[in-house]
Amino acid sequence: MLAAMSERTESRKQRAARRAGEFPPAPEPLPRPVLDSHTHLDITVSEYGVPLRAPRSPAEDGSGGTAADPVAAAIEVAAAVGVDRLVQVGVDVDSSRWGAEVAGRYPAVLATVALHPNEAPRLADLDEALRQIEALAAHDRVRGIGETGMDFFRTGDEGRAAQEESFRAHVAIAKRYGKALVVHDRDAHADVLRILDDEGAPDTVVLHCFSGDAEFAAECVRRGYLLSYAGTVTFGSAGALREAAALTPIDQILVETDAPYLTPMPHRGRPNASYLIPLTVRSLAATTGADLDELCAAVSATGDRVFGPW
Ligand SMILES: [Zn+2]
Ligand SMILES: [Zn+2]
């Protein structure tokens, strides 16, 4: 009775605010397995808890309200809808080390290691941090160097030199270890291409959360880069991005969450996790005109080619 009353007296706005922090329900499973090519499990679990699992009471398991193994739970929830592999992406030395350890422990997880372009300008000793990333790059379960790149959205002119130095160093590490380069490019398309040309791009380059238009996509396709599409491709305002997706050859497409960010429609604004990839894959199939089965098979094969075998 009391619960029913408070339910009724809660305003629409209050209800929306409460639900904003909750994981959306699981979508319909995919007909064939795919991967999440870019996720931040550490940030997702620490900020929002375990996807789709109600927090246990501290009395129940003594863990202070979180599930005993949040990473295993997140993997299990994703696998249940056909997302059976994921790539854990590092953004600084600590998260890169964590990712390498987790990838060593769970067969469904591979890792990439790097200093994020927003992190590089903040470091007191960039060279030392790069040495630590390079040491992690040798790990067998680390299959990519990223996310590195350029981000002119949050970094002013003064940060750009450090960002570029860091990006160039990551390109060199990727080439030395023969691993994929995972590029973060925000408002910096021309500079990303300039630096890749200047350094000489590694054999495998993934543009994560691809955000360009058709013209930039065509340029990346011509160079043989992989374009990884995130939940942004489902947003109503993303017409130019859908044009880019429509001209990307099916064997150069990857899909990702970038979780906990960029949750696909119709759940934009709520936390993201790997189990929501089916929403992005279905949207991409509609945009590109590809058969859903065929798109899943292609994305899965590309994931294995770029990062695998798991
Ligand atoms: Zn990024
Ligand atoms: Zn990311």
Task: Go through the domains of the chain in sequence order and give each one's CATH number.
Answer: 38-51+67-307 (3.20.20.140)
Q: What is the pLDDT of residues 108-146, one digit of tens each?
A: 999 999 999 999 999 999 999 999 999 999 999 999 999
Amino acid at 140: D
Classify burial at 188, counting beta carbons within 10 Å of its beta carbon; exposed 0-12, middle 13-18, buried 19 or more: buried
CA angle 153, 156, 158 (to 5 degrees): 150
List the 205-208 sheet strands across, edge first: 34-39, 83-89, 109-113, 142-151, 180-186, 205-208, 226-229, 253-255
Q: How far is the CA of 24 from the centre of ligand 2 (A)?
A: 20
Hey, which residues does 39 pair with through a beta bridge? 88, 259
Q: By the 8 A CB rule, do 218 and 247 touch?
A: yes
- Binding residue positions for a divalent metal cation: 147, 184, 208, 258
Structural tokens at position 81: 């809808």
How would residue 17 be classed by pLDDT, with cut points 50, 70 and 90? low
Q: For residues 264 and 167, what is the distance between their CA atoms, to the nearest angstrom?
A: 29
Q: How far is the CA of 282 from the centre of ligand 1 (A)?
A: 22
- Binding residue positions: 147, 184, 208, 258
Q: What is the pLDDT of residues 243-265, one digit of tens each?
A: 999 999 999 999 999 999 999 99
Window from 7-16, 222-231, 266-275, 293-302 with minimum mean pLDDT: 7-16
CA dihedral 66, 67, 68, 69 (to 10 degrees): -110
Amino acid at 215: E
Q: For residues 215 and 147, what is the distance between their CA atoms, to the nearest angstrom?
A: 23
Window from 92-106, 144-158, 249-263, 296-310 with minimum mean pLDDT: 144-158
Q: pTM for the complete prediction?
A: 0.91
- What mean pLDDT is predicted for residues 284-309? 97
How would residue 28 be classed by pLDDT, with cut points 50, 70 and 90? very high
Ligand 2 is an ion; its neighbours by CB within 5 Å are 258
Structural tokens at position 306: 């770029």
Structure letter (DSSP) for residue 264: P
Nearest residue to 149 via CA among 118, 125, 111: 118
Q: What is the pLDDT of residues 138-163, one digit of tens each?
A: 999 999 999 999 998 877 777 899 99
